[in-house]
Every structure is written in C-alpha cells, then in structure tokens.
Amino acid sequence: METTTCFYVAVCVLVACLSNVQAAGWDYLNDSGKGPDTWEASYDTCGGSKQSPINIETAMVEEKDLGDFTFVGFGEDDKPVNATMTVSNNGHSVVVGVDGDYHVSGAGLGTTAYKAVQFHFHWGSVNSQGSEHTIDGKAYPGELHIVCYNTSYPNFFSALFNEDGLTVLGFFLEIQTVDNPALTQLFDVISSIQFDEEEEDLSMPVVFNNFLPSDLSSYYRYSGSLTTPPCYEIVTWNVFTEPIMVSEAQLNALRRQYANKHNAADNITLTDTYRPVQPVNNRTVYMTDPNAVTDHMTTLSPNQDNINTENVNTPTPSYVNTPTPSSAPCQFASTSLVALVISKVLASVLDD
C-alpha cells in the first residue's frame, strides 16, 4: 500500500510539472523567445558551471586510461528477450524509447552498471552543423545520444538527483553516399512520424552493435549536463571519436520533422536541433586514445570548413547548485523523459 501511495504521489507531481513545462516551453529557434539563449532565464540550472555540450580542444585533452566499456544487450547474440523500442517525435527531437536489459559498465564508470532508457538525435539544416559537441570548433551534421541511468539508484527518476545519475554515449553522425542498412527500419519509421506526439513501435528493436562504430575504445570523457532544459549537471559524458555513418537521405528524414501537431495551421520545421557549445571552465576533458585525435579529424567532411565557436568564450556563468528533489521535478522540461519516468516508476510498482 505504501509503495502504491508513493507511486501515485509521484505521478501527480510529474503530471503537474508536465503542465508547467508545457506552459514555459523551450525550443531551438533563435527568434521565438524560447531559444537556447533564453534557457537560463527560465531554468536556473541551465546557467551552471558544468554545462554541455562543449567544444573539445584536442590540444587541451588529458590522456587517461579509463579502460574499455562492457556492453550487455547491444549485440546480435545477446540482445534482450522481449525488448521493445518506440520511436516518437516529442516536438523537440526524434526519441527512441528503449525497454529492455541494455546495460553499460566499465570504462571508469564505477562499480554498478548503467541502463539504457532511450536514444535520440540532434541534427542541422546543412551538413556543416548539427552536432552538439564540436572538435576544435568543427561540427558534424548530427549527433546521437544514448541515455543511461545509474542502476545503483532505484529508477531513472531517482538518478536525476545525483551527480553520477546518468551517463550518455555520444556519437557523431557523418554522411556517406549509401544508406546505412542497419538503420533502414528505424529511418523508415522516422519518416512516418513527422509531427509532435506521433509515435510508432519498431517491429524489431535495432541492434546497437550493427550501427555503432566498430571501434569503441577511443572516446572523450568529461563531467557535464543534460543539453536540454533543465540542464541538470548529472551526466558523465562519453563522446566517441569514430562516427556513425548515415546517408544524406536518412539524415533528411530528421530534417523533415515538425515541432507542431499534425492539425496545426502552420508547420514549424525542427531544424538545427542543437544547443550551442558552453564554456568548459575549469573542467578536464580526458581522452582514452590520444593517437586517435589525428585520425578522427581526418574523417570530417570536406564541406565542414566553417568554425562553430559560438559561446566558447562567453563569460563564466555563476554556479547554480543542483536542485533538491522537492524542487527539481517541476523544472524537468523534456516531456518525453517525464513520460519515461512515469512508465519506469509504474513498472517498478508492478514488479513489487
């Protein structure tokens, strides 16, 4: 009874917060009054000193042997039984909700595994921009983030209030001339859910190892934040040097997404869905394979000569402490993650 009561209280709080989030709102548009340059005014935590994304200066990274990752459920031979994936447009991005035993551990993440709960995309209107992180000021056409929570906490919601609550696996998207066959089903579904709140289940979950880079031993590591409001500074970031390859046609399926619902009078294209890079401040960025830096830079597209240094040298913001659990939920702006929290808490109650 006590567990059930706690669950209903949590749901009520989250639903109330969801209403507040929708009223406040945020987006990526510079002329809407809700773009990235306004987030700090609405969400204090977006003005912290450990914000993401960042520009990674390869000359400043520090070599550190963090070891290799251990992935469970990511391969064809160990994919979880009864796993499901649901693709949705949440008005800000394309998100793939993950339900299954997908775990990440090792690589200096601590003694407990992190469980994947979703992955999502960031992209640009042209190939010279789109990734959230940049390398020496240069951007990729897009970036994919696999969001995982620390299983030392009871659930995803609990993990949000701890500085080691989440780890995110970040992969740049790079263009090749042909489709990536491992992503055909996913992008076919993405093409069919163009509007906000539209979603569709994948008939078969994608196998991560079929489309992730073959070399996962070379990556950057730093402490940072969510890249969307409320920008909580609870993320251990892993930015891999080898990109995921997709075709221009597959990337265009993302560029054809809309921020509005299907019956809206006007369509608002989801374009340039990335936050500008934030000050590194006094943080250290680690690199597991410094010899890969040169190889990594040679993989950038020939058309990526522009330098994206927006906000790299902006003044250091005042530090904002991580909110207490009593105040934090109402600042949690990602509607898809709020829904995810509800589903995870419900699942834990049903399991009890």
Catalytic machinery residues: 92
Measured CA to CA, the distance from residue 285 to residue 300 in angstroms comes to 21
Three-state DSSP at 4 gives helix
- CA distances for 256 relative to 167, 191, 230, 311, angstroms: 29, 8, 26, 28
Which amino acid appears at position 277 of this protein? V
The residues that bridge with 96 in the sheet, in sequence order, are 87, 119
Tokens encoding 291: 């010899």
Tokens encoding 7: 């669950």
Q: ∠ CA 35-23-343 to the nearest 5 degrees?
A: 100
- CA distances for 292 relative to 221, 298, 310, angstroms: 14, 10, 26
The two most distant CA atoms of the chain are separated, in Å, by 61
Nearest to 257 by CA among 245, 241, 244, 273: 273
Measured CA to CA, the distance from residue 132 to residue 144 in angstroms comes to 9
| Cα distance between the two ends of the chain | 11
Q: Please give the torsion angle defined by the CA atoms of residues 67, 110, 142 and 72, in that order, rounded to the nearest 10 degrees.
A: 80
Host H or E run for residue 240: strand 235-240
Nearest to 240 by CA among 71, 28, 36: 71
DSSP letters, 7-62, are: HHHHHHHHHHHHHHHHHH---S-TTSS-SGGGHHHH-GGGGSSS-S-BEE-GGG-E
DSSP letters, 133-170, are: SEETTB--SEEEEEEEEETTSSSHHHHTTSTTSEEEEE
